Amino acid sequence: MLVLPNHERCLNLTTHVRDVEVDTLFFQQVIKLFETLLHILTLSSKPIRSIQYGKRTLCSVMGRVLVCVSVLRPIILRLLVISSLHLQVAVNGCCHGELNALYGMIEKLERQQDIKVDLLICCGDFQSLRSSDDLQFFCAPPKYRTLKDFHEYFSGSKRAPVLTVVVGGNHEAPNVFRELYYGGWLAPNIFYLGHSGVVKVGGLRIAGLSGIYNPHHFHLGHFEKPPYDGNSARSAYHVRQFELLKLNCVQEPVDIMLSHDWPEGIYNFGDREGLLRCKPHFREDIEKSCLGSPPSMALLKSMKPSFWFCGHLHVSFPAIVPHPDGSKTLFLAADKVLPNRRCLQVLDVHPKSTAKYLKRPLPQTNISTHLTIEYDLEWLCILRANQKNIPTSRFRCKSQADCPSSEDKDAVLKNLRHFAATRQMHSEAKARSVEDPRDIRGGEDEHADGAEQKMSDGEEVGPFPWPHWSDPPFQELEAQRKRLLQIIGHADRDVFTSQPGHPGISATETTPKTQNGPPKPDRGPLGMPLEEIPLDLDDL
């Protein structure tokens, strides 16, 4: 416990490291006080459970959430939830539908190490198969074409015990991820980042890229749509240049970047020989510089995220990538879900932009210690600026991505505030009505629907929470997609509509020199290219 002396003009905050004096009499400096308190908790060599002002508790530490109460003047009496000092993030490489085993591992780890995992990240091959109908498009060798566990979470018979954020891999049902091109809820507490996407979670800025790199399909458009054949079901999960171009438009710092396959050349920044001892058949690809995705490595060097997590190759591999500006990216590839494999690793992750996040107070009526998904304003602006550029050609095309303008930002903010105000009205109406015991949110999952939109003219604050998985219902993938299109102001430009005959938006098409359409390699069972299914998943 840290006890502060009662004083009218200032608080002398003393720790073993330094003395800090902050004038707290005036409202405009209250936020500065809270930032100082957070800094003290970071520097203190001993755990601090509460901070007192005279005989009153000024703040208390609940897990990793600092709750502060200003009691200096009645006019500024308020509760603020300050960003956690760090989040315990669990990273899984390839889930392959083994959700029950994965969540069981987390529960066991929490019990054994006395920790609490805040967020689970799955780096592809999630296998969000809702029913046997999705199996007809599922890309995997025959013996792996089973539903596994996700359908239990989709049906509601089970629920994810920890907020789970996923990207897609090369063993997925493309019909599901096509409907959620921009990202959205797959099931309660399970969120998909989209073909590419950026969101905020507990102060962390998380970006993601789904699929794997294939040079033959990289410059094509998103032409695949139901009903899929053997070729289109596979090319659907191949990364397109357009998605990398959008991510290259991101300018604000990124804490975590997710992908399925590895950035090409990442093995040069870690224990390369140790990797080859574990996976000797990687040697030929490494010598040819084709183990991974060259565009992803270019993105890593330009984005410079604090962490880059991925899966795909079914081996645990850490690396550190230094950047010219002195920063570094900590890279981690995790294994697939199997006993005695490094398929789950827990890390402490600190947000890059802590100070900015601290300045976003939440209304005390909506305080929750549960993490929520938030819209990322910059990413929404990028989506708005590039909706017209989405390529849908099945031929090689010239992709481009435009950086958003101030007009894009103004339009997105206007729509976000409109939806926030609408949710606030519904929330207030619900509070005045008789409580419905059938409410599926159950209180603890209620988002901060009344998020502040402005502190003063021209200063946006946020946060802007992603709608709850019940609004619209997570089962309605198209409704989720259309909600985001409304926010970016392109409700009438839905390229991924399932309605037949709906016009798509194609980029400029150029005929390939050596082929007419996507390449058609020799195919094996189920129409799958032999070059992509040579290995048994258990052998990787």
End-of-domain residue from the set 18, 49, 82: 82
164 contacts 189 by C-beta, under 8 angstroms:
yes
Please tell me the predicted confidence (pLDDT) of residue 429.
72
- Indicate if 27 and 153 belong to the same structural domain: no
Domain range for 12 is: 2-82
Name the burial class of residue 359, with classes exposed (0-12), middle (13-18) and buried (19+) by CB atoms within 10 angstroms of its CB: middle
CA distances from 220 to 120, 204, 232, 508, 512 (A): 32, 32, 12, 11, 10
The single residue listed with the structure tokens 């995997």 is 140
Position 44 scores a pLDDT of 45
Claim to verify: residue 227 and residue 279 sit in the same structural domain: yes
What is the rounded distance in angstroms from the CA atom of residue 475 to the CA atom of residue 285? Answer: 41
In the chain, helix, strand, coil percent, each to 5? Answer: 30, 20, 50
CA distance 47 to 2: 10
Q: Are residues 380 and 234 in the same domain?
A: yes
Q: How far is the C-alpha of 117 from the C-alpha of 84, rounded, in Å?
A: 13
Residue 441 belongs to some domain of the structure: no
In a domain, 410, yes or no: yes
In a domain, 439, yes or no: no
Phi, psi of 298 (to 5 degrees): -60, -40
- Edge-to-edge strand order for the sheet containing 317-322? 317-322, 328-333, 307-310, 256-258, 204-209, 196-201, 373-375
* pLDDT value of residue 458: 44
Tokens standing for residue 130: 């809702």
d(C-alpha 122, C-alpha 166), whole Å? 5
Task: Judge whether 469 lies within some domain.
Answer: yes
Domain-embedded: residue 138: yes
Model confidence, pTM:
0.74
Is there a single domain that holds both residue 27 and residue 54?
yes
Are 58 and 118 within one domain?
no
Statement to judge: residues 305 and 412 lie in one domain: yes
Same domain, 424 and 378: yes
Q: Are residues 114 and 47 both part of a single domain?
A: no
Mark whether 247 and 372 lie in a shared domain. yes
**Is the distance from CB of 321 to CB of 290 less than 8 angstroms?**
no
> Judging by beta carbons within 10 Å of its beta carbon (0-12, 13-18, 19+), is residue 363 exposed, middle or buried?
middle
Torsion over CA: 161, 163, 169, 174 (sign): positive
Domain identity same for 389 and 410: yes
Closest CA to 137 of 220, 231, 239, 216: 231
User: What CATH number is attached to the domain comprising 174?
Assistant: 3.60.21.10
Residue closest to 202 by CA, chosen among 79, 308, 86, 116: 86
Label the pairing between strands 190-192 and 164-167.
parallel
Closest-CA residue to 489 (of 384, 346, 405, 393): 384
- DSSP assignment string, 298-338: HHHHHH--SEEEE-SSSS-EEEEEE-TTS-EEEEEE--BS-
For 99-144, the pLDDT digits (tens) are 999 999 999 999 999 999 999 999 999 999 999 999 999 988 888 8
**Are 352 and 248 contained in the same domain?**
yes
Strands 56-62 and 50-53 come out as antiparallel
- Provide the token pair at 55: 């005989």
User: What is the predicted pLDDT for the residue at 85?
Assistant: 53
- Boundary of a domain, candidates 37, 62, 82: 82
The amino acid at residue 480 is Q
* Cα 309 from Cα 94, distance rounded (Å): 11
29 within a domain of the structure (yes/no): yes
pLDDT digits (tens, 9 = 90+) for 145-189: 999 999 999 999 999 999 999 999 999 999 999 999 999 999 999
Number of domains the chain is built from: 2
The answer to the question of residue 428 being in a domain is yes
Of the candidates 30, 388, 373, 409, the one whose C-alpha atom is nearest the C-alpha of residue 191 is 373
Give kind and range of the element (H or E) at residue 53. Answer: strand 50-53
Average pLDDT per 10 consecutive residues for the chain, totaling 540 residues:
38 32 42 55 48 53 43 34 66 95 95 94 96 90 90 97 97 94 98 98 96 97 92 95 98 97 97 96 95 97 97 95 96 90 90 52 38 95 97 94 96 94 76 52 39 43 87 96 96 76 36 37 36 35
Q: What is the CA radius of gyration of the chain?
A: 24
d(CA 265, CA 286): 8
Helix axis angle, 406-432 relative to 477-487, nearest 10°? 120
Distance CA 451, CA 462 (A): 6
Clarify whether residues 43 and 137 are in a common domain: no
Residue 91 vs residues 156, 211, 262, 286, 292: alpha-carbon distances, Å: 24, 18, 15, 25, 19
CB 348 within 8 A of CB 327: no
Extract the tokens encoding 288: 């040819």
Residue 162 lies in a domain: yes
Start-to-end Cα distance in the chain:
51
Do residues 59 and 66 touch, judged by C-beta distance below 8 A?
A: yes
In whole angstroms, what separates CA 60 from the centre of its chain? Answer: 29
Distance of CA 69 to the CA centre of its chain: 31
What's the rounded Cα separation, in Å, for the pair 233 and 235? Answer: 6
Final residue in a domain of this structure, among 34, 54, 82: 82
Whether the CB-CB separation of 130 and 176 falls below 8 Å is answered with yes
